[in-house]
Structure 1
Amino acid sequence: MFDGMQRRVVSIWFPRLASDRALRLRPLEGPFALTLHQGNTNRIYCLNRAAEQQGLSRGMPFSDARAFCPDLQSRPSRPNEDRQFQLALRRWALRYCPWVGLEDDDGLVLDISGAAHLFGGEAELLMDMRQSLSRAGISAAIGLGDSRGAAWALAHYGEGRAEVGQALDALQELPVAALRLEEKTVTALGRLGLRSISDLANAARAPLTRRFGTDLLMRLDQALGQQPEQITPLKDPPHYGVRMTLPEPIGHSSDVMAGTERLLTQLCAKLHAQETGARVLCLTLRRVDQDNQQVELRLARPMRDAKRILPLFERGFGDVDAGYGIDQLRLEAVQVEPMPVQQLSHVSTGGKDRLDDLITRIGTRIGLENIQRFLPADSHIPERSYIIAPAAFSVPNSGWATIRSRPLHIFPPNPLLGSHDIPTPPKHFRWRRMSFSTARATGPERIAPEWWLEDDSWRSGVRDYWCIETRQGRRLWLFFTPQSPSWYVHGEFA
């Protein structure tokens, strides 16, 4: 800020930030609320204006809200998406000034000192903000003052603008809660008859300090501009991109590989400094005729080792048309993930690295999503004891935690042919047009249905499983259903 320039701060409060975000994606008419599960109860997290007019409020149990307003429509809240929406609004606010910070979970604070004249003045700047937010369907209250505290108070309790040097005149009728005080402090001040900011400003300071400490008067002085309060803007996220402009056009793949190696070395140094790894890399090759060729590399794991990444680019270079030559190379990490530094161990990880590189090579041909692995799931039902997940986006588990071994092949239950209605394993049976004789039977293992899931195949009741070793060499997994006596084959061991 230049010497002698009066500081001016804008506070923007979004009272319905979460519900506005949700309704922008899927508009609805009538009362609407987002719910959040807290303390074994669904509560109102955020609601629109129509729901507020029905007497609903934040924190109200959702069951009570539906009783008051039967037409209430709801969706589950997503706080992470609300945070991203707030960050997007911050990027929008950078058009007004370069000094923009976040205010709690539902606001922004801007230091517009020396920037208002670019929009024709403070009134025109505030009008432009309101119109832009209104067109986007976002509810907002805006305050402007000499300090952050004054702007916050005006935005939350009396939307308006305080003239330069006249903060007390603009704030004097507002309640003391506008000073960002704790609720218990506001209640105690009310019992003393100090309900407005003017009451607090005209009271003796020494007794207030002895009773409430220094924080109360510090908040008052900050709002009146007598105590400084900093605005900390968010740092722009690091940009993971490097570029090389060549003095002479190149066209051989070996030259492109050499240039890519130099770019990878620079990019991996940036990634290492930020403790991140690249998951998706994009190499842009600009030709002399201004046409661009792109080579995208999707990695199975976050990586920042230039020597490992470089060979993975080779296949992509085969589809590049250099034309009359390439005069610029640009490499960017399009998607990055945290990759903190790890303690070195005597156990080698070379095998895992080679597997990740193999998944990457195959994934460039058929897609990383098509390379899948089995992972254990938390269920004792055989069909539900595993899930299938993309290998590039999952971590292998140590193994299945089961008391009894499970067959390698599990298929839909096949009934045994013949009359088998006793709970002991049959000595002779037919299955798939083949005759078998039981040599050894191990069991039973009783498995009960998961009553909280709807599965028609398990509604008949419990099953008693047996591992049957036949004289013909097959090892089968059979079960008996006591509630409707019969035997089935459910799997086969290797």
Structure 2
Amino acid sequence: MQKRVVSLWFPRLASDRFLRARTMDAPFALTLRENNTERLYCLNMKAEELGLRRGMGFSDARALFPDLQTCPADPRADSQFLRALARWAARYCPWVGQEGTDGLVLNITGSAHLFGGEAALLADMRARLSRAGLTARLGLADTRGGAWALARFGEGVALPDKTLEKIAPLPVAGLRLSGSVCDTLQRLGINSIADLHALPRATLTRRFGREPLLRLDQALGDQPEDVSPLPDPPRYSARLSLPDPIGLASDVMAGLERLLGQLCARLTDREQGARTLQLTLRRVDQASQQVELRLARPLRDPARILPLFQKGVETVDAGFGIDQLRLEATLVEDQPLRQISHASSGPDDKLDDLITRLGSRIGLDNIIRFLPADSHIPERSYITASAAYSAPGGAWPVLHHRPLRLFPPEQIAASGRTPPRGFRWRRMALSTARATGPERIAPEWWLEDEAWRTGLRDYWMVETRQGRRLWLFHTPQNPGWYVQGEFA
């Protein structure tokens, strides 16, 4: 049977993925920081029509087109999306491989007739990808190299045993040669695959090594090149079948201890840690009870994980008994081995265990922590982040004392450039005992902030005779006094 291969190329994979959920008619580009320079990573069609290209400096692009809409790229999400497309493409054939970071390769030998022929298969593929909002170019040939060249340089179909005729006019870059080899060939006047094919093989090998001939032979089918399907992701699970039903929580915990030992051993072998674990308990009446454990940090230590299951196991209704336990790590993350020494055995993980216990009661997403932010504006000097998906930050990067409590500015009746001797705040009559300041803070002009449209602020720490220690500021441009914080 004649081998047939389809190459799928997504020239705008990253931007198409991003814009699938955000309709945008304006020129748009994703940016990525490379070598301390922000560059255009992927563009939509309108941005390419303006003359912008991938790899162009972001500042240059914005100088040419100030209305260009941008957003940071996420290569990891793009890779996951490509793997999802590979799983989708398995509907056409069982052999689907990944081609670089923006393409797929399918071995459709023997499966095209299931869709009404090769033309119908390609038409169905194009229609489905178009409905999904993805730009795709397809190539079909007898070889992987030939299909790759057609998808990227001459989208089309090469009839069986006619691959050379179809790819001959294409540039030499269609053979997947390195950039330096392509440049050298073009300087010598060898611009197309036909020109390269006409050269003496011995001369070509002495001048450029075996790469050009290898790629040419692969494209023409003289050298074999298989399509290796993507391996299935590893599954971390363990199961325990019981000869007699059990119903006590202590018995379930004993069985869970055995399962955790097996599961964590597999995680350790692959340097992975579990973030979400699911325990399924099958009863004798075939009903199932599930206990899910979401961890604040990836773990693979059975001794630490086992007590965290206790509360969930105690709530299980065993019915007439449980005859099977199944434990699965539904979400895992990388957890490389850590070097320890005689002076330190690693970080203290008690806080992570506490967050996990609290999260099992109120939800991990409801536990947040404050982290320092690089801004001198009081309202922007911190951010909130999920405690389970962030690490504790360092000291706040401020040079001056800041109040423990910070709230939106509350205006008080006062005048002058120095703190008033007496004022009313929150229905309290207060008198100033001592004032320290001023500390002048200017707005961040590059950000739009409605609260700072009054301009400069002069902050004072005011100690009142009534015992309150307040943080006041004065706005020179639009004279007024406000209370924004309170010291401990």
Q: TM-score, normalised by structure 1?
A: 0.81
Q: Find the counterpart in structure 1 of residue 172 from structure 2.
A: 176
State the secondary structure of the residue aligned to 2:260: helix
After TM superposition, list the pairs within 5 Å mapping 1:162-173 onto structure 2: 162-163=159-160, 167-173=163-169
* Residues 150 and 96 of structure 1: CA distance in aligned 2, closer, same or farther (over 3 Å): same
Q: Conserved in 2, the CA contact under 8 Å of 1:282 and 1:331?
A: yes
After TM superposition, list the pairs within 5 Å mapping 1:256-335 onto structure 2: 256-335=252-331
* Separation of aligned partners in 1, 2:42 and 2:338: 42
* Corresponding residue to 1:124 among 114, 117, 120: 117
Higher alpha-carbon deviation: 257-266 or 121-130: 121-130
Is 1:443 aligned to residue 441 of structure 2? no
* Corresponding residue to 1:216 among 212, 217, 234: 212
Q: Conserved in 1, the CA contact under 8 Å of 2:30 and 2:70?
A: no
* Residues 118 and 66 of structure 1: CA distance in aligned 2, closer, same or farther (over 3 Å): same
Is 1:477 aligned to residue 475 of structure 2? no
In structure 2, what residue type is equivalent to 1:434? A
Q: Conserved in 2, the CA contact under 8 Å of 1:300 and 1:356?
A: yes
* Residues 427 and 106 of structure 1: CA distance in aligned 2, closer, same or farther (over 3 Å): closer
Is 1:151 aligned to residue 147 of structure 2? yes
Q: Find the counterpart in structure 2 of residue 253 from structure 1.
A: 249
Q: Find the counterpart in structure 2 of residue 239 from structure 1.
A: 235
* Residues 358 and 43 of structure 1: CA distance in aligned 2, closer, same or farther (over 3 Å): closer
After TM superposition, list the pairs within 5 Å mapping 1:70-149 onto structure 2: 79-95=75-91, 98-111=94-107, 116-117=109-110, 120=113, 124=117, 127-128=120-121, 130-137=123-130, 139-145=136-142, 147-149=143-145
Q: Find the counterpart in structure 2 of residue 491 from structure 1.
A: 485
Unmatched segments (≥5 aa) in structure 1: none
Using the TM superposition, give the Cα deviation of residue 283 of structure 1 relative to its aligned residue in structure 2, in angstroms.
0.8
After TM superposition, list the pairs within 5 Å mapping 1:314-463 onto structure 2: 314-344=310-340, 346-347=343-344, 352-417=348-413, 420-423=415-418, 425-431=419-425, 432-438=427-433, 440-463=434-457
Using the TM superposition, give the Cα deviation of residue 267 of structure 1 relative to its aligned residue in structure 2, in angstroms.
1.0
* Residues 436 and 15 of structure 1: CA distance in aligned 2, closer, same or farther (over 3 Å): closer
State the secondary structure of the residue aligned to 1:454: coil
In structure 2, what residue type is equivalent to 1:257? M
State the secondary structure of the residue aligned to 1:491: strand
Cα distance per residue 1:393-422 (max 9 Å; x no partner):
2211122121111111223334455x5414
Higher alpha-carbon deviation: 280-289 or 88-97: 88-97
Using the TM superposition, give the Cα deviation of residue 486 of structure 1 relative to its aligned residue in structure 2, in angstroms.
4.4
Cα distance per residue 1:29-85 (max 9 Å; x no partner):
xx786523376676862439xx99x79785499789989xx9x99988655443323
Using the TM superposition, give the Cα deviation of residue 263 of structure 1 relative to its aligned residue in structure 2, in angstroms.
0.9
* Residues 187 and 118 of structure 1: CA distance in aligned 2, closer, same or farther (over 3 Å): closer
Using the TM superposition, give the Cα deviation of residue 201 of structure 1 relative to its aligned residue in structure 2, in angstroms.
2.0
State the secondary structure of the residue aligned to 1:83: helix
Cα distance per residue 1:79-99 (max 9 Å; x no partner):
544332321222234455554
* Corresponding residue to 1:45 among 28, 43, 47: 43
The total of aligned residue pairs comes to 473
Q: Conserved in 2, the CA contact under 8 Å of 1:35 and 1:62?
A: no
In structure 2, what residue type is equivalent to 1:421? G
* Residues 178 and 489 of structure 1: CA distance in aligned 2, closer, same or farther (over 3 Å): closer
Cα distance per residue 1:90-126 (max 9 Å; x no partner):
22344555543211233222456xxx34665998367
- The CA RMSD measured in Å over matched residues stands at 3.8
* Separation of aligned partners in 2, 1:122 and 1:151: 19
Larger Rg: 1
* Separation of aligned partners in 2, 1:303 and 1:178: 47
In structure 2, what residue type is equivalent to 1:248? D
Cα distance per residue 1:255-310 (max 9 Å; x no partner):
11111111111111111122221111111111222211111111122111111111
State the secondary structure of the residue aligned to 2:349: helix
Cα distance per residue 1:406-462 (max 9 Å; x no partner):
111223334455x54143x44555544233241x43322111122223333322232
Q: Conserved in 2, the CA contact under 8 Å of 1:372 and 1:391?
A: yes
* Residues 448 and 325 of structure 1: CA distance in aligned 2, closer, same or farther (over 3 Å): same
* Residues 225 and 254 of structure 1: CA distance in aligned 2, closer, same or farther (over 3 Å): same
Using the TM superposition, give the Cα deviation of residue 228 of structure 1 relative to its aligned residue in structure 2, in angstroms.
4.4
* Residues 490 and 203 of structure 1: CA distance in aligned 2, closer, same or farther (over 3 Å): closer
Q: Conserved in 2, the CA contact under 8 Å of 1:284 and 1:329?
A: yes
Higher alpha-carbon deviation: 198-207 or 249-258: 198-207
State the secondary structure of the residue aligned to 2:461: strand
* Separation of aligned partners in 2, 1:75 and 1:455: 20
* Separation of aligned partners in 2, 1:369 and 1:340: 25
* Separation of aligned partners in 1, 2:405 and 2:19: 48
* Separation of aligned partners in 1, 2:443 and 2:93: 62
State the secondary structure of the residue aligned to 1:482: coil
Using the TM superposition, give the Cα deviation of residue 222 of structure 1 relative to its aligned residue in structure 2, in angstroms.
2.5
* Residues 300 and 37 of structure 1: CA distance in aligned 2, closer, same or farther (over 3 Å): closer
In structure 1, what residue type is equivalent to 2:453? R
Unmatched segments (≥5 aa) in structure 2: none
